[in-house]
Amino acid sequence: MAISHIWFTGGCIRCSACAYAAPQVFELPAGGDATVQGCARRDGIGTSEDAFALAVIDDDQEQRIRDAADGCPVAIIHIRENG
């Protein structure tokens, strides 16, 4: 199944682990919590959960996102899969 959305629950400790695991997907804005880079999402398409709808990504990026979610020390990265 493909990952269609990513969202965060509160409590990011800004450790950068997600941005290290998937640098083309996650970023840490200056002074802010981790987010999904604009180039990795379909801007303007949100959900009631404030999830980021992902642009088309390849298998490598999907695995990197899964690794980032698994590796987040406070477990606040969530993914939704379609298919």
Residue 11 or 83: the one with the smaller Cβ distance to ligand SF4 is 11
Does residue 3 interact with ligand SF4 by CB under 6 A? Answer: no
Convert residues 44-83 into a mask of x (bound to ligand SF4 by CB under 6 A) and - (unbound): ----------------------------xxx-xx------
Contact 16, 28 (CB under 8 A): yes
For every residue of 9-38, DSSP letters joined together read -S------HHHHH-TTTEE--TTS--EE-G
Q: CA-to-CA distance for 38 and 27, rounded, in angstroms?
A: 9
Question: In angstroms, what is the minimal distance from the CB of 42 to ligand SF4?
Answer: 20
Does residue 25 interact with ligand SF4 by CB under 6 A? Answer: no
